[in-house]
Amino acid sequence: MVDPPRRMPCRCICTAPPTMPHHSYMCCYCIFFFFKLLVCSTLSLFSPQKLKDVEPIIKIIEVDGQDLVKDYSDEIERMLGSKMKSVKRLAESAEDSDLYHEFNATLEFDYYNSMMINTADEDGNYVDLGGEFPLEENEHFNKLPVNTQMSNIQVPTNVYNKDPNILNAIYNTEALNDVFISNFQKDPTLTWQYFGSSTGFFRIYPGIKWTPDSNGVVAFDCRNRNWYIQAATSPKDIIIMVDISGSMKGLKMTIAKHTINTILDTLGENDFVNVIAYTDYVRYVEPCFRGTLVQADLDNREHFKVLVEELHVKGEAKIKNAMKESFKILNEVSVRSGSMCNQAIMLITDGAMEDFESVFEEFNWPERRVRVFTYLIGREMTFAQNTKWIACNNKGYYTHISTLADVQENVMEYLHVLSRPMVINHDHDIIWTEAYMDSVAQSLLLMTSVAMPVFSKKKETLSHGILLGVVGSDIPLMEVMKLAPRYMLGAHGYAFLINNNGYILAHPDLRPLYKDGKKLKPKPNYNSVDLSEVEWEDTDELLRTAMVKGETGTLSLNIRASVDKGKRPLYLTNEYFYTNIDDTPFSFGMALTKGHGKLMFMGNVSVEEGEVSHNYPQHRLEIVTYCETDIDPAHRKYSQLQAAIRYLLGKEPDLECDEVLLSQTLFDAVVTAPLEAYWNTLMLNDRVEPGVETAFLGTRSGLMRVVRYAGVETRVAKKFLTPADKDNLFTIDHFPLWYRLAVENSPGKFYYYPVNDKGLFTRFFLLLPVQDLSCYLVDNNGFVMLSKERKHTFLQSQFILSFLFFRVSLFDYQAMCKTGHHHASSARPLCFCVSVRFLLDFNLCGLWHSDYFVDAHKQKKVDALQPCDTAYPGFMYDPSVREANSLIKCGRCQKMFVVQQIPDSNLVLVVTQAYCDCSRQYGAILLEPKEIKYILHILMKCNRMKSQKVRRRPESCHAYHPKVSAEPHS
């Protein structure tokens, strides 16, 4: 898998242009000779004769994108299919256990409470519901201490852990223990398995120790989790109506706001929502969303929560007009947008005094298509009958909330009502969630969950539609994407996964985290980043639309990309291949870059040859996964190299290894072995040129050979190619930076870029200082490789940049911007702060325009960061300009400069007169990102939040069943 060999010219050319005196050009001092000598000598090892020696065992194959996308999607389908089978087994076991269980109101049953386990009292005795519960750290479960022989129970603080309903349900689900263990044995790649009960407890396998917050509170409630809500109900359109009249002041308003937020937390990206506040007039909490519903994704839900906090009480409550407005919205969206499934109005009030029957007669009766749920706030019961009547005559549910502690349980009741049609039908729909971060394991890794509802099958309660709970399992998205290894896709190729709403689950350019001080935190909209915001060159959204619809096909796009944390732009042509993943809402895509990675060397060598060739300590084989050593505990003791060799020798046939990758790695090891021997010979014979610190080579299979010619204490680039230098190593999800840059270089040319810890070469080259001249060695992106003025890391001279480089505009739709304050007025919620300082999470500010010998990365503490769109420039050298010189008028003086390409490299030598200051006429070009200020900023922001792009609705909808009575519910 090494690239085809090519003999390169080894020469150094230093000639002065006729327009500049010869002495001034002495800045160039044959600076590249010894580098070329080293590399050319190395490449001479790959002579045509040596190629002939290996021709019988090698072949060149062409990567077929359509075949590859089918193979990868089939693998993903099989993996996700096995998770669905595991969840089905859990659901069947839970339902069977309930079928033969008789409720016992006096049941006494001790179970392992995850918060109490291994806890002793003052006398050394285990506390109630505690007991000894062995835990052992397990790498497969995020290195957490777990018990793989047993599950245990988590109960939220607001739920009584010995309530008869809780005890009976826990006892009833003890049978799940055996199924958990059996599932894990059948599929060792399974992670967390669980059952969330409608009574509030959470059974998790493997068992863990649950840590409460600093106040000793366990706030986690499984019924709030997206996997539970999506499995328990069909998609829904919700309008939340909140009474903000004068009578709602004080604690009532606090409870009402908490109720709104709790309802919002029960919604997901397949649901649609709006919030209306009413007094004697109707007021949309977000005026931008007037007359419509918006997708209840994380971004919109959090936006509503901010606005709800700013509500103030005023005036007299008039419910009739608000109710009419709500019905009108739901009637309109039911025929053209929204979820096109369940519809409901959530009325939050301390009383309803008007005659509102006529509204229901006009809009909702007799079909009662829209359910109305009512939440009576406060201790007073004067108007309880009216609010109960509203709910009971519109297939809803009435609850009374008198304290903050009542909110959670009472809000959850509406989910049980909406689930009844599905439960009575016994439709076991399997759902998959959007990407999220695992709060149980306290991990910042993205996951998706597969879940399935569990129903009561007892004949006497069948028509009641009783939901027992939801079973599910988590799947790390990184594990899914391992099935599409990067080595097959080439240096710039990648795979990605999106869901039915066009939101990204996995993509190399998805950046879900940002740095807040020293902590990494999820961005507010981390799981609602649309494919169009990453593949932004797809301006017509052809790729997005086809994938969201679940189609199979191909598409070619010319794109602007960047590497090196956004500093270096690239122009690429991507060939996209995509298809759907059956029985899931996901679509899988793959990008192959034209001209890169299409051809691959395939070779066969013996295991013994490969093993001998691997006997050097410099190989970076541990970075790439060749064999899955985590599945079987007996394999965890092996390094990747040990596991690979044992598998190939037949000593561990049960290991799951990538045979193609192993074969290619062995071939690369054999072919490149003489190279490392040559490097070592140079060192032993003291023939290494001064200043050369490291020699290295990498192949597409992820194999690296590294020889150090200098000790760590004397190296300038101390971090380069160490485990801390992830950008320059092969990893599961990317090729090294130097590898990606090199493949963009023209054949026969050398690519140079700074790799030492301070950003400038300080030992490698010799510059002869010349009076009154400034000399810069600049790379093809305008970065200063060498200068006698150490503070320069980017060629900031505007007149030279514009003369030699062309500007490339790049965009980031996942940026975070600093803002000094929050919304000043709830009347204008989308009028965001205009005075903004910008922060791109690439942390580019100060990276280009700063002194590397000063800590330029330290950011001042700001009040808040919010998602924003930014644009930032990149520069690429115009290769047609081989040499040039010119005079620039700068006020009272003239500045002369001379430019010449360095032959066979990506470098340019720039020589300017130092004494003429042009900074006033030509300001420095800063590469820091700037927030995109749209002409109609508020309108653009509004349209973007309420826009409904093409999406694929979930296949099933359970909004109606004839056995669900229209009679009162409460």
The CATH number for 561's domain is 3.30.450
The domain boundary, picked from 744, 778, 804, lies at 744
Answer yes or no: do 261 and 322 share one domain. yes
Question: Is residue 419 assigned to a domain?
Answer: no
Contact between 94 and 78 under an 8 Å Cβ cutoff? The reply is no
Phi, psi of 904 (to 5 degrees): 55, 35
Q: How many residues does the chain have?
A: 970
Question: Is residue 508 assigned to a domain?
Answer: yes
Answer yes or no: do 763 and 785 share one domain. yes
- The CA distance from 205 to 564, in Å, is 41
Name residue 224's amino acid. N
Residue 854: CB partners within 8 Å, gap ≥ 6?
none
- The CA distance from 51 to 342, in Å, is 68
Instruction: Give the pLDDT score at 242.
Output: 98
65: alpha, beta or left? (left if phi > 0; alpha if psi -120 to 50): alpha
372 three-state secondary structure: strand
Answer yes or no: do 610 and 590 share one domain. no
- The CA distance from 791 to 774, in Å, is 13
Residues of the chain with pLDDT under 50: 1-43, 45, 47, 616-619, 759-769, 821-862, 966-970
Question: How many other CB atoms sit within 10 Å of the CB of residue 517?
Answer: 8
Answer yes or no: do 55 and 147 share one domain. no
The domain boundary, picked from 365, 389, 409, lies at 409
Answer yes or no: do 322 and 379 share one domain. yes
Name residue 960's amino acid. Y
Answer yes or no: do 467 and 499 share one domain. no
Nearest to 344 by CA among 330, 365, 333: 330
Instruction: Give the pLDDT score at 686.
Output: 87
Instruction: Give the pLDDT score at 856.
Output: 32
Answer yes or no: do 768 and 866 share one domain. yes
The enclosing H or E element of 680 equals helix 659-684
Question: Is residue 34 assigned to a domain?
Answer: no
Answer yes or no: do 531 and 625 share one domain. no
Helix 251-265 × helix 298-308 angle, to 10°: 180
Instruction: Give the pLDDT score at 17.
Output: 36
Residue 659: CB partners within 8 Å, gap ≥ 6?
none
The enclosing H or E element of 719 equals none
The domain boundary, picked from 928, 947, 964, lies at 928
The pTM for the full model equals 0.86
Answer yes or no: do 248 and 385 share one domain. yes
Q: What range does the domain containing 712 cover?
A: 48-63+602-744
Question: Is residue 948 assigned to a domain?
Answer: no
Instruction: Give the pLDDT score at 212.
Output: 86
Residue 912: CB partners within 8 Å, gap ≥ 6?
773, 774, 776, 797, 800, 895, 896, 897, 898
Question: Is residue 25 assigned to a domain?
Answer: no
Instruction: Give the pLDDT score at 849.
Output: 31
Question: Is residue 516 assigned to a domain?
Answer: yes
Answer yes or no: do 615 and 686 share one domain. yes
Question: Is residue 946 assigned to a domain?
Answer: no
3-state helix, strand, coil in the chain (%, to 5): 30, 25, 45
Domain count across the chain? 5
Answer yes or no: do 336 and 470 share one domain. no
Name residue 180's amino acid. F
Helices and strands in the chain: count of H runs, count of E runs: 21, 38
Answer yes or no: do 613 and 719 share one domain. yes
> Tokens 């749920």 map to which residue?
373
- The CA distance from 629 to 656, in Å, is 8
Instruction: Give the pLDDT score at 60.
Output: 83
Question: Is residue 8 assigned to a domain?
Answer: no
